[in-house]
Chains A and B, each alone.
Chain A
């Protein structure tokens, strides 16, 4: 930052300042669906200003490769922006990995450019940046692989796992401390990348598919914090701000998700998930269930005044959301009040179910969050559960021995009639039996979600005149 370029430097800083303001506004406008798209535009303008300002940087001599890299990056970004809505969780995990990769590489370059002349505090921040970013890189790749189902979704656990993982993290921190004291120890730096890379993989191995919303949020937070650390290293306030915003966003979402999964806060911070693998082999031998056919279900739904649909990820897997929309239309036409009850962890990432239903053109004012709709179940004529299981399990409220005891659930069992679309009586993902299915007011609708909903819609439209 020599004095001759002070004018240019001031312009750059002003552009960064405007970009920071736009970034904050961007998130502020996202708070409501009405203004949310302005938020995207504000973010885009801020980004363009920031990149334009950076290109004015006096030290830049080579523009050709910047342009080439920007073009290639955009070429990769476009298909990643056009994925299916069901694939958004793995896309998000992948983009956390890309962001972390960028931060790791920049941190590595900065180290080799500056060593051995690195002040202690700077070195400490640099170490934090590289450790966080590299473990986020492999961790996010693992999460993306599990979500895409190229890796096994089952949690893989072994004895002493936490000890092994913490020891590996401990090695990384020990190396970091040594580097802070001896910033010239070049040969040790690769360890600072490789060890957290290994830790990132090991951290995700014990995590099962159901915990993914929490994990993605946590990785989001790590990615943000590593970018903020990079801001300290580069002395860029814009980066510190963007990183702090991303970090706090991921942090808030992690807390919301962990509460919805009934996990403690320390559990989230240390990433120790996947412990509740209790094989609840409870006897379900002589309990009886009542079942119904599509036309019986259609009759009950048509006679109802208030219906609440409880969608779960099973609905999305069966690609049934568009059929559900037809059901919504058919019932609304008959004057039935239809709403959707959204559990925070319905789907594979925070808010995923809302996006899937919005994609099927279901109006967002019909999508009601758990806390807002739970009080309405006693006045609900029919609760229709499609592809959801554990989040409707009343054992979470009543049975202290249940592995999900204490988890906040949707109180569907308080509705006058409960209908559950399910393939068979096999217990779900977590292997926990659901007493809801054996209640007198519960009707089991056995079949594929898409086919069964289609059957109901067919009956309803056949009866209209």
Chain B
């Protein structure tokens, strides 16, 4: 149990540093898509909810799990969709203008 916790803290620390270094380099131009993308990725919480629904250990955990899966899935689908729509709009002037 304790080693799992320490492992988790190591992972959290490393991911935090990677996140900081990677996201620092994201151009301010793309900060809105950045937020909608991280939002979609964050909805990976859906995996925890799926297990709750699938295991059906109690009526409460099942019902809350179903709602949680719905909420997180809407974030996954909506988040990726809108991020891609936004990124498609960003074009340079070079190919079109002489």
Interface residues of A (CB under 8 A from B): 19, 23-24, 26-28, 30-33, 36-37, 39-40, 43-44, 46-47, 50-51, 53-55, 57, 59-63, 65-66, 68-70, 72-74, 76-83, 85, 88, 91-92, 95-96, 98-99, 101-103, 105-106, 108-110, 112-113, 119, 121, 216-217, 220, 223-224, 227-228, 230-232, 234-253, 256, 332, 342, 344, 349-352, 354-355, 358-359, 361, 363-367, 369
- Beyond A101-B68, A238-B47, whether A246 also contacts B38 by CB under 8 A is yes
Chain A hits for B49, CB < 8 A: 69, 102, 105-106
Chain B hits for A364, CB < 8 A: 29, 90-92
Contacts A/B (CB < 8 Å), 11 sampled:
A24-B22, A59-B55, A60-B55, A73-B77, A80-B77, A99-B71, A102-B68, A224-B38, A235-B4, A244-B12, A246-B42
Contact between chains at B58 and A112 (CB < 8 Å): yes
Chain A hits for B15, CB < 8 A: 240-241, 244-245
In this complex, the member of B19, B32, B41, B53 whose beta carbon has the largest number of chain A beta carbons within 10 angstroms is: B41
Report the minimal beta-carbon distance from A235 to chain B, rounded to whole angstroms: 5
- Beyond A69-B53, A109-B60, A245-B19, whether A351 also contacts B32 by CB under 8 A is yes
User: A440–B90 Cα gap in the complex (Å)?
Assistant: 37
Contact between chains at B83 and A40 (CB < 8 Å): yes
Closest to B73 in A: A73
User: A82–B71 Cα gap in the complex (Å)?
Assistant: 17
Which of A43, A50, A110 meets B47, CB within 8 Å? A50
Which applies to chain A's interface (DSSP): helix, strand, loop or mixed? helix
User: A251–B17 Cα gap in the complex (Å)?
Assistant: 12
User: A76–B35 Cα gap in the complex (Å)?
Assistant: 19
Contact between chains at A105 and B68 (CB < 8 Å): yes
Contact between chains at B45 and A95 (CB < 8 Å): no
Which of A60, A74, A234, A237 meets B74, CB within 8 Å? A74
User: A363–B94 Cα gap in the complex (Å)?
Assistant: 9
Contact between chains at B5 and A121 (CB < 8 Å): yes
Interface residues of B (CB under 8 A from A): 1, 4-5, 7-8, 11-12, 15-16, 18-20, 22-58, 60-62, 64-94, 96-97
In this complex, the member of B33, B52, B91 whose beta carbon has the largest number of chain A beta carbons within 10 angstroms is: B33
Chain B hits for A236, CB < 8 A: 47-48
Chain A hits for B76, CB < 8 A: 47, 73, 77
Contact between chains at B91 and A363 (CB < 8 Å): yes
In this complex, the member of A24, A28, A248 whose beta carbon has the largest number of chain B beta carbons within 10 angstroms is: A248
Contact between chains at B40 and A65 (CB < 8 Å): no
